[in-house]
Structure 1
Amino acid sequence: MNGARDRLHRPPVVPPGFWDDATLRAALAEQHMGRVVAAYRRHHAHTSTLRQTDVARWAGLSQARLSRLETGPPIKHLDDLVFWARLLDIPAQLLWFQMPGTPHPVLSAPPEPSEQPSGGRYRLLRFDDHLPPDEADIAAMQTFREADRSYGGGRLYSEVFHYWNTRLAPRLFNGDDDPAPKVFAAAAGIVEMAGWMAHDAGRDDRADRQFRRALELSKIGRDRQLTVHIHASRAHLALHRGDPRQAIRQAYDAEMALSKAPASPELTARVYAMQARGFAAIGEARQARRLLVRAEHALDTAIATTLSPWVSRFDLGSLASEASRSLRHLGDLTAAAAAQRVIDLRPRERTRSRALGQLTYAAVLADQGHPDHACAIASGVMATTGELASYLVVSHLHDLRGRLLCYRTSPSVTDFLDLLDHTVNTMTWIPHRSDGLSHAGDR
C-alpha cells in the first residue's frame, strides 16, 4: 500500500538494465522526450503501467499537457529537456543534448585566493569557446539560469556584465557588418537576465534600466515572445516597488504584444497572472480571481508551440507562486494552500523559488496566529539558503520579522528573531554602496 502511494508522488528507483529496453532506446534515438516518457511509463519493470496522471503529478503538469507531450512534436527547449532528464534520472550518456554541469558550458568552483587574478576577482562561470556564437549565447543563458538557482543575483550580476562586455558587445558594435537580428535578440535576453539579477541583488533602479534596454533590443531583434516576456518582467518589478497601477499597464502592454507573437500558453498565463497580481494589490478581488482562472486555463490549452530560448518557463509552480501573492493581498485563506503547492511542485535544487514559497507560507501562518510554525519554516529556509545571495529572500525574511513582532513574548519567536538578525548581519554580499557593476547593457 505504501509503495503504491509513493508511486503517486515521485519516480521509482529503476532496476539495473532498465535503460537497455529496446522501446526506450528507440525513443532516445529519435530524440523525442515525449516518447521517452511514454516508454518509461510502460516499461515492464514497473509492477503496473504508470498512468499519465501519476507522471503528470511528478512534473507539476496536467494530464492533458503530458498527453500532448507524449504524442505531439518533440520538445526543443533545453530547459524542458533538462527537467525531464533529471526527473526520470536518465543516464547522461544516453541523451542527445548536453546536461548543465558537463563539458560545455560548466560551473567552475571559485579558486583559492592565490589563484585569483589581479584585483582579487575570479570568474564564477566558464563557457565553451568552441561553440558557434549563436549556440554559445543560448548555452550561456542556460548556464546563467542554472547558476542563478544556486548562487542568486547577488553573486551573478557581475557575471552577466562580464559576458556582455566580452561576448556580446564586440559583436554588436565592433563588427564590419550589420549584426543579424538574432544577435540583438541574444543581447535582449542577456540584458533582461541582468535586470532580474539586479532585482534579486536588491538594485531595483538598475533592474528597471536593464528591462527598458532589453525591451528596445528585443524589438530590434524581432523576438516578439521576448518582448511580451519583458513587459511581464517590468510588471513584476512595478509590483515589487509598490506601483500596482503601473504593473497593470505593463501587463496590458504585454497582452497587446501577445497578439503579434507566436502563440504560447505559458506566456499567456504569465501575462494574466501579472494582471491578477496588479488588481489584487488595488483590492479588485473579483477581477484578480477571474484572471487567475484564465491563467490556469491558458496553461491547459492544447497548443503545440515553440518557446523562445530567451524566455524563461512559466509552469504550474510559477502560477501557484503568483496566485499565493495575489490571494495574500486579498486576505484569502486559500493563500496558504497556494503557497504549499509551490513547495510541493518545486524540487529542492530550485532553492530560491522554493524558499520564497516557504516564506510566503510562513507569512500566512503568522497572520493566522501560528507563529511557532512560521518560525520553524523560516528557520529551515535560513538553514538551506546559506550559499544563496538573494535580496528577495532577505526581503521576505524582513517582512516575516515584522509580522512576528507582536508575538515576541514567545520564547521560540524571540529565539528566531535573534537568529534572523544575526544571519542577515553576516550577509556581506548585501549591497551597501556602489560596486562599479552598473553598466551591463548600458553601452
Structure 2
Amino acid sequence: MTPANCPRCGGRLARDNDSGRCAPCQAAERVRLSAPPEVPATFWSHPPLRAALAERHLGRVIRAYRHHPYHGRAALPQAVVAGWLGITQAQLSRVENGPPMVHLDRLAHWAQLLHIPPSALWFSLPGSRTVATVRPVDLAPKALEEGGTTNRRQFHALAALAGLHASGCIDLLTSRATTPTSIGMDHVRYASTLVEEFRRADAQMGADALCDVAIHAHDRLSAWAAKASYSRSVGDALQSALAELAIQAAWLAIDANRRAEARPYLNEAIARARIADDSRVEVRALACMSLLLRQDRPSEAAQCAEAALRASAGWATPRLRTLLHLRAAHAHATLQDSLGYEREMTRVRRAFDGGEHEDDLPFITFVTAQEVTGIQGLSYLVLGRADRAAICFRSVTATPAGTHRRNQLYYTVQFARAANRQGDFESAAEAGLKALPEVGRVRSGRVSALLAEVRSDLAGAGTSLPRVREFIDAHDGTLA
C-alpha cells in the first residue's frame, strides 16, 4: 500500500504516486550519483541502523544505510554507494558481508563521507584531534558566508597551516563583503597564485592538511565567478585558472585517499579547459584522471592517457610525453597486459632521453628518473613480480630527492609492500619503521592507508620476528 507521506521530507504523496517519494525528492535523488545526500538527524535513529552501529561493523552500517526508507521504496544500489566510497561494487559487497573493518583511516573517511554523527561511532574521527582535518565548509557555513569574524579567523588558521598566503587576498574566500561584482585579470592572477601555493605546499606536506582548504577555495571562487561579470578575454583566462584549481583540488583529494571526491572536479576541469580552448590544462586534467582511474578502471585510465597524448600532439615536451606514457604503462600493467606495458615503457625511455625543456609545464617537475623507476615498480607489483618491484623501490629510496618528500615516502611504503609479498617480513618491517616518522610530517591519507595495509599483512603473517613486532607496536602507537 502506498504510504500517505514521503519518508524523506514528510510531504503528502499523491494517491497515484507509486515511487514512495514526492516529486521534489525524486528530483533531488537524480544528483545522488555524485555524493551522499545530507540526511536529517532522525535518519540515524532508524532501528536497523542503530543495531548495525551497536555491532561496530561499518559494512553492516552501510547496508542499513542503503536500505533506509529515507531513500525510497528501493534500496540504494551497491554500485552507487561504492562509487561514493571510491571502491568497486564487488568490494563493497565484501565489506558488507565480511568481517568488520579494522583500518582506522578507511573507517574514519567513510564515516565522514556518509555524515555519520561522531556520537554514534565507536572510534574517534581525526577531525576531533587535529585542525588539519577540519573542513572549512563545515565551520558554521552561514556565518562564513556572512563574513562571520570567528569563522574567518578559523579559515585563516587553516590557510596558515597549509602555508597559504595568496598575495594577501585570502579574505576573498571568507567574506561576502569583498566578493567582486566584476572580474579582471588581477582576480585571475589571484586564482593562479592559489594553484601555485597549493602545489608548493603539497610537495612538502602532503594533502591531508590541504585538501579541504583547496576544495573550499575552489568552490568559493567558482561561486563568485558564476555571478560576476567579465570581458571575453578575461573569461578565457578565468576558465583556465579555475580549471587548474579544480585539478589541484582533485589531486589533493586523491592523495588524501578521498578518491570519490576527485572525479567531479576533473570533469569540471576538462569542461572549463575546452570552453577556454586550453589544451594544456585539458591534458593535465586527463593525466590526473588517468591516475585516478588506474586502480578500478584501468581501461579508461589507458584511454585518458591516450587522449592526452593526442591532445598534446605537436607541442608536448619530452617530460610530458614521459608522464603520459607512464600513466598508460601502469594502466596496461593493471590490466595484466604485459606486452602493452613493455610497449609503453619503451616509449617512456625514448621520451625521457629527450631531457628537460624550457616549455615544461610546472606540474611535471616530479617526473624524474626516480619517478620512472617508481612507476616501473608499481607496474611490476600489479603484474605479480614482487621481486622486480622491490628492486625498483629500493633504487628509488636509495637516491632520495629532497624536493619531493611525499614521493620518497610513498615509494618507501611501496617497498615494504613488495618485500612483504616476497615473504621478506624483516625488510618490510624495516621499511615501515623508516616511513613512520615521515608519515607524521608529510600528511598523505593515501600513504597512511598503504602503511596500514602493510601493518595488517605483517600481523596476518603470524611471524614472531622482533622487528615486525616493533613495527606493529610503533605503527599502532603513532597512527592508530
TM-score category (smaller protein): 0.5 to 0.7
Q: How do residues 206-355 of structure 1 correspond to structure 2 at under 5 angstroms?
A: 206-240=261-295, 242-259=296-313, 262-301=315-354, 304=357, 306-309=359-362, 313-332=366-385, 333-355=387-409
**How big is the shift at 1:325?**
0.4
Q: How do residues 27-426 of structure 1 correspond to structure 2 at under 5 angstroms?
A: 117=151, 120-121=154-155, 122-124=157-159, 125-129=164-168, 132-165=186-219, 167=221, 169-171=223-225, 173-178=227-232, 179-240=234-295, 242-259=296-313, 262-301=315-354, 304=357, 306-309=359-362, 313-332=366-385, 333-404=387-458, 405-425=460-480
**How big is the shift at 1:192?**
0.5
Mapped to 1, the partners of 2:351 and 2:378 lie a distance apart of 19
Q: What whole-Å deviation, never above 9, does each CA across 1:324-360 have from its counterpart, x for those lacking one?
A: 1011122333322321333245434522111111111
Larger relative CO (CA 8 A, sep 6+): 1 or 2?
Answer: 1
Give ranges in structure 1 of 5+ residues lacking alignment: 1-108, 110-114, 426-443
Mapped to 2, the partners of 1:401 and 1:270 lie a distance apart of 31
Go from structure 1 to structure 2 and tell me whether the alpha carbon gap of 1:367 and 1:161 turns closer, same or farther (over 3 Å shift): closer
Mapped to 1, the partners of 2:368 and 2:235 lie a distance apart of 31
Mapped to 2, the partners of 1:381 and 1:205 lie a distance apart of 26
* Superposition RMSD in Å: 2.8
Give identity over the alignment, percent: 20
Cα pair 1:263 1:305 within 8 Å, conserved: no
Mapped to 1, the partners of 2:281 and 2:228 lie a distance apart of 25
Q: What whole-Å deviation, never above 9, does each CA across 1:81-102 have from its counterpart, x for those lacking one?
A: xxxxxxxxxxxxxxxxxxxxxx
The one-letter code sitting in structure 1 at the alignment partner of 2:294 is L
2:96 equivalent in structure 1: none
Mapped to 2, the partners of 1:337 and 1:411 lie a distance apart of 24
Mapped to 1, the partners of 2:273 and 2:455 lie a distance apart of 40
**How big is the shift at 1:120?**
4.4
**How big is the shift at 1:312?**
5.9
Cα pair 1:351 1:385 within 8 Å, conserved: no
Cα pair 1:244 1:282 within 8 Å, conserved: yes
Go from structure 1 to structure 2 and tell me whether the alpha carbon gap of 1:134 and 1:379 turns closer, same or farther (over 3 Å shift): same
Cα pair 2:319 2:355 within 8 Å, conserved: no
- Partner-residue secondary structure (3-state), 1:362: helix
Paired residues, number: 311
Mapped to 1, the partners of 2:230 and 2:446 lie a distance apart of 42
Mapped to 2, the partners of 1:343 and 1:247 lie a distance apart of 27
Go from structure 1 to structure 2 and tell me whether the alpha carbon gap of 1:262 and 1:133 turns closer, same or farther (over 3 Å shift): farther
